[in-house]
Amino acid sequence: MIKLYDYPDCPFCQKVRVVLAEKDLEFDIKPVDLRTGEQKAPEFLKLNPYGKVPVLIDEDIVVYDSTIIDEYLDEEYPNPPLMPEDSAGRARVRLLEDFCDNSFIPPAGAILTELHKPEAERDNEKIKKYQADVNRVLARLEVALEGKQYLVDDFSLADIAFVPRVVILPQLGIELDARLHNVAAWIARLRERPSVQSLGL
């Protein structure tokens, strides 16, 4: 049985859970309490020297880093495929996953960190700056989605990378710009998928 070392609110763990659900794979959740620093315990560092979740164990294979885990799962359990068949398409997926990790997840996470603080301690200027960063990413996705249902060919790991934060835009205090029709339709399409619904976001 596959084991997933997981923290419920972690967007990287959520990415992996969507892939497991898409492939209808059974797995055991091993909760790691990031608040008590369990991820830096010697036993956990043996699994992932970076001391971060997610970590996936499949029989005797230990894989960490959500993007690498998702590709591992797609190769090991190819149905349904979540990567294009051609290398150019796969490169486009990887570029978008990298863009998501570098430009989307950090400002979205920073907004949540501020919003979790008591109101008097929040830095509203910071929140506005990070919301502007998120909106810039959404504008770029609008262009990438022109004439398409999903970011690269069929539903893929590129879409999954964005799922955890794109489905909680209202919680980030972001109202989607009415001009972003492609993004709005794409989010609605993502929300229809049982794998995305299984996150309970």
Ligand X SMILES: N[C@@H](CCC(=O)N[C@@H](CS)C(=O)NCC(=O)O)C(=O)O
Q: Of these, 14, 66, 131, 182, which contacts ligand X (CB under 6 A)? A: 66
Structure tokens of 131?
A: 């919301």
195 is a site residue for ligand X (CB under 6 A): no
Structure tokens of 38?
A: 């369990």
Q: Which stretch in 22-30, 47-55, 129-137, 146-154 sits in contact with ligand X by CB under 6 A? A: 47-55
Q: Of these, 19, 44, 54, 134, which contacts ligand X (CB under 6 A)? A: 54
67 is a site residue for ligand X (CB under 6 A): yes
Residue count at the site for ligand X (CB under 6 A)? Answer: 12
Considering only residues 83 to 142 of the shown chain, the ones binding ligand X according to CB under 6 A are none
52 is a site residue for ligand X (CB under 6 A): yes
Sheet containing 55-58, strands listed edge to edge, beginning at the edge strand earlier in sequence: 27-31, 2-6, 55-58, 61-64
Catalytic, 13? Answer: no
- From the list 5, 7, 10, 199, the catalytic residue is 10
Q: Which residues pair with 4 in a beta bridge?
A: 29, 56
* Coil, strand or helix at 29: strand
Residue whose C-alpha is closest to residue 41's, from 54, 53, 51, 50? 51
